[in-house]
Homo-oligomer: A and B are copies of this chain.
Amino acid sequence: MSAKLTPKGMRDIGPEDMFVREEAIEKIRAAFRLFGYRPLETPAMEYLETLRAKAGPEVDKQIFIIEGGEYGLRFDLTVPLARYAASTDAPKPFKRYAIDVVWRKEEPQRGRFREFYQADPDIVGSASMRCEAELLSLANTICVSFGFQKPRIMLNNRKILDGIAAKLGIEADVKGEVFRVLDKLDKIGEAEVEKLLREILGGKADELLKIIRSKGGNKSKLALAAKYSEEGAKELEEILALCGSEFEVEVDLFLVRGLGYYTGPVFEVKLSDDIGTVMAGGRYDSLLGIYGQPAPAVGISVGIERLVTLLAERRKGAGKKTDTKVLVACVKPDFYPDSVRTAAEFRKAGVACETDLNDRNIRKQLDYANSLGIPFVAVIGEREVKSKSVTLRDMASGKEEVLPIGAAIDRVKGG
């Protein structure tokens, strides 16, 4: 029966992976809150009209549409924010975060899923470059909290790219295609990008590539960029000055971000060339206008799936299967009520614990503790009931001690 199957391109996330995932989400949420971002949750589905307003009707192919054709599942967390922001009277800037699932009906491939998490902090209601600098600082904080001390933070500006395109006489309708090709660099490599650009632009491809490939420090790149957009270069200077000495930011004129709706600075965070992009975003000052209330906005999307994978890989072998610290076992079923009472005392002290729900002998209870990696077993038998104590077994060393319950709680908490 196919009913046993998980839907195509989706997955079940079992306990071991979930412990890592919940920890990762908690870390990211803590960083968002540390910077004063406030939570907003919106429904999984939106009117198709709302979804199309941002991405056009061609996005329908990518959307899971609900039967009846009125609703579709959200494909990002930005559209719901834009819809909400158009109706809220929250104080400006409205700094919101959302950590939630989105759906895309792409052909499933290795490592890519049709349902995945995004974690987005966005700022609505400020045109200042202070926002960009804050989001990059937040991104850096998250990387560091995951143990990556030196993320590569790359910065560009759509205004500069637009300026270059204008100077080279690239038509507006071709420009979108060019940007999409540039954005594929990570996936298809530089040679392929070159080839595709030549097909689209002919001789102009080389001119374009010469400009955006220019090497050197941020200063020389910005001097070059200023020839195409003074405003764009000045915005980046402001951002760089505010990021200051706290962390490094690298101007990369090759950086595009594929989505058409960015209007100003765009950025990307890589942990290494190997791992690739884990966060990306930019300014989108025109999007909210579509939803009836024009306001500047800027945001970054944290690729939580990749961070979770990295965290899980690092934990390999050390991943926990359970939070339970103690299995309160009983020598005979007669003592089960005593083990329940003892477990209640452990729990009152904040110690996660379990009792034997399967009426098993003591050997099998120890097997269960072993199979989940539960570190302690507190055995309850006649002697223990009489003396209000437990025999506490340290499962790693095999060492056993008879202890009053209070002392056993202390031992487990200390261990």
Contact = CB atoms under 8 A, between A and B. Distances in A.
Given A7-B71, A41-B18, A66-B67, A352 B36 contact: yes
A interface secondary structure, majority: mixed
Contacts of A15: 38-40, 90, 96
Contacts of A337: 241-242, 244
Interface stretch (A44-52, A194-202, A256-264): A44-52
Contacts of A29: 22
Contacts of A344: 137, 246
Contacts of A11: 43
Interface residues of A, number: 97
A38 B22 CA distance: 11
A18 B36 contact: no
A183 interface: no
A69 B68 CA distance: 11
State the oligomeric state as a number of copies.
Answer: 2
A397 interface: no
Interface in A1-21: 1-7, 10-15, 18-19, 21
Among A6, A50, A87, A347, max chain B CB count under 10 A is at A6
Contact of A87 (B4, B10, B13, B324): B4
14 contacts: A3-B83, A3-B291, A7-B43, A13-B40, A19-B39, A35-B352, A36-B324, A44-B44, A44-B103, A45-B115, A91-B368, A93-B357, A95-B354, A246-B344
